[in-house]
């Protein structure tokens, strides 16, 4: 429980990657438009191609996009698998909180409020 699992570490990478609005927009656009190059992505945005490349590298490090070489071009596609890890992490936080709520409700029902355990 105190040790971070592999899923946790991948979820951390996903949240780090998705913490930037530019990267969120890139991921959404790649998912919509299909395989696309960094140059094409930069054409629609007010930043340089190199900035896009850096963002794509971060997304690739999180496993959210994969690059495929086609001729002299580098086309990026979306990989949705890491999103599951992030969703799992959020579900864990939510369920822990829900369990906490249930415990509190039960204790409150059995006795008069005696103060928080801790």
Partner DNA sequence: CCCCATCGCAACTCCGTAGTTGCAGATCGA
Partner DNA sequence: TCGATCTGCAACTACGGAGTTGCGATGGGG
> CA 52 to CA 60: how far, in whole Å?
12
Site for a copy of itself in 4-63 (CB under 8 A): 12, 15-16, 18-21, 24, 27-28, 31-35
Among 3, 72, 109, 110, binds DNA (CB under 7 A): 72
> CA 2 to CA 90: how far, in whole Å?
17
3-state secondary structure string across 35-60: CEEHHHHHHCCCCCHHHHHHHHHHHH
73 alpha carbon, distance to own chain's centre: 27
Residue 49 binding partner per list DNA, a copy of itself, none, with a CB distance cut-off of 5 to 8 Å that depends on partner kind: DNA
Residues in touch with a copy of itself (CB under 8 A): 12, 15-16, 18-21, 24, 27-28, 31-35, 78, 80, 83, 86-87, 89-90, 92-94, 96-98, 100, 104, 116, 118
């Amino acid at each position: 429980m105190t040790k971070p699992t592999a899923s946790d570490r991948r979820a951390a990478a996903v949240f780090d990657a998705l913490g930037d609005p530019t990267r969120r927009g890139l991921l959404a656009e790649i998912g919509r438009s299909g395989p696309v190059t960094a140059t094409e992505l930069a054409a629609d945005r007010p930043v340089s191609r190199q900035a896009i490349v850096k963002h794509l590298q971060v997304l690739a490090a999180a496993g959210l996009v994969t690059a495929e070489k086609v001729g002299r071009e580098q086309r990026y596609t979306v990989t949705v698998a890491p999103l599951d890890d992030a969703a799992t992490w959020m579900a864990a936080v939510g369920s822990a909180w829900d369990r906490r709520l249930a415990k509190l409700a039960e204790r409150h029902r059995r006795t008069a409020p005696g103060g928080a355990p801790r």
